Amino acid sequence: MNIPDDYRCGMVAVIGRPNVGKSTFINTVMGRKVSIVTAKPQTTRHRILAVLTQAKQQIIFVDTPGLHRKSGKAMNRLMNRTAANALADADLILFVSDATRWTSEDDDVVQRLKSCKVPVIALLNKIDKVHPREKLLDGLALMSARMDFTEIVPISAMKNDNLDHLLEMIPAFLPESPPLFPEDMKTDRSDEFHIAEIIREKLTLMLHQEMPYGLTVQVERMVKEKKGFAINAIIWVERDSQKGIAVGKNGSVLKKVGRAARLEISELLGQPVHLELWVKVKSNWADNATDLMNLGYEAP
């Protein structure tokens, strides 16, 4: 790759309250799944880099946990710190909000953004759900009154609406710099990380309201064999009562989760996959700093 003298590269933090579409936005922009997506708040728990390399720029999107008020457990506090640290490292901030619903947690994020020293572009997401379309003008006016944003851009991350326009705007806010990552690198996370996240996504989608957020997934073993990959993963829950829910009657939940996860993991790796899942109890892991680090929740 020939690097022009005016090449630009920088960090773009994607910030907002939980469940406004930050991960969907990044996945759509990248044209591949970098972060798992569910309808549940706080699905994203980690800082994940998504690297978009183009001829004249490399945009490094930082997907972050949603900034939220409820921060009683150690994991919640860690997620809030992770999101806050992404602001400090950014060259540009994209503030994502839901065009159909504004909450007090959105207000909290705006107050935090007012002290930031870098440009902030407001993304009014889910505009495909705004009816009649004239209501969008009211939403843009309200957003403009909340803060002196550098730009306000209405988008639909799900429908890929207006994202090309946004991508054309971003490089002007990045410093002149050679790329920080190799041209073929799409994310800073390992296959094991993405495999664990895929399993957690399938569990979250399967269990609906039955399981609180007290589960996480850890890949214990991943071995390349003649006919593909053998993968063993542990689903950690906080209480014995949750173990039965995660396993399901006669193992029904675990079988469905395993089948759905195996298909997606096989697609990710481009190889057949043999996946074995176990459910184990680790009491109160989400409020124990040592457990969090051992389970891959890095301290920011």
One-letter amino acid at 247 equals V
| Helix, strand counts (H, E) of the chain | 9, 9
pLDDT at 300 (0 to 100) = 43
Q: What tokens appear for 19 in the block?
A: 């469940």
Exposed / middle / buried, residue 276 (Cβ in 10 Å: 0-12, 13-18, 19+):
middle
Chain mean position to CA 224: 28
Residue-wise pLDDT tens for the chain (300 aa)?
Answer: 788 989 999 999 999 988 899 999 999 999 999 987 776 766 667 778 999 999 999 999 998 876 666 666 777 777 777 777 777 889 999 999 999 999 999 999 999 999 999 999 999 999 999 999 889 999 999 999 999 999 999 999 999 999 999 999 999 999 999 999 999 999 999 999 999 999 999 998 888 666 656 789 999 999 999 999 999 999 999 989 889 999 999 999 999 999 999 999 999 999 999 999 999 999 888 888 888 888 777 654
Quote the DSSP letter at residue 168.
H
With CA atoms as reference, report the closest residue to 271 among 228, 239, 209, 215: 228
Q: What tokens appear for 226 in the block?
A: 């003649």
Q: Residue 20: CA atoms inside 13 Å, Cβ hemisphere, count?
A: 30
Tell me the CA distances in angstroms from 140 to 95, 143, 291, one per residue in order.
14, 5, 44
Q: Compute the distance between CA of residue 146 and CA of residue 114 in angstroms, rounded to an integer.
A: 10
| Positive or negative torsion for Cα 109, 114, 115, 121 | positive
Tell me: cis bond preceding 272? Omega within 30 of 0 counts.
no
Show contacts of 207-212: CB within 8 Å, 24+ apart: 207/245, 207/246, 207/253, 210/245, 211/237, 211/242, 211/245, 211/246, 212/242
Q: Compute the distance between CA of residue 130 and CA of residue 100 in angstroms, rounded to an integer.
A: 6
Q: Which domains does the chain have, with CATH numbers?
A: 8-173 (3.40.50.300), 191-294 (3.30.300.20)
Q: What angle do CA 251, 255, 259 make, to 5 degrees?
A: 175
pLDDT at 125 (0 to 100) = 98
> Within a 10 A sphere around the Cβ of 145, how many other Cβ atoms?
8
| Chain length of the chain | 300
pTM of the model: 0.88
Tell me the CA distances in angstroms from 177 to 51, 56, 174, one per residue in order.
15, 10, 8
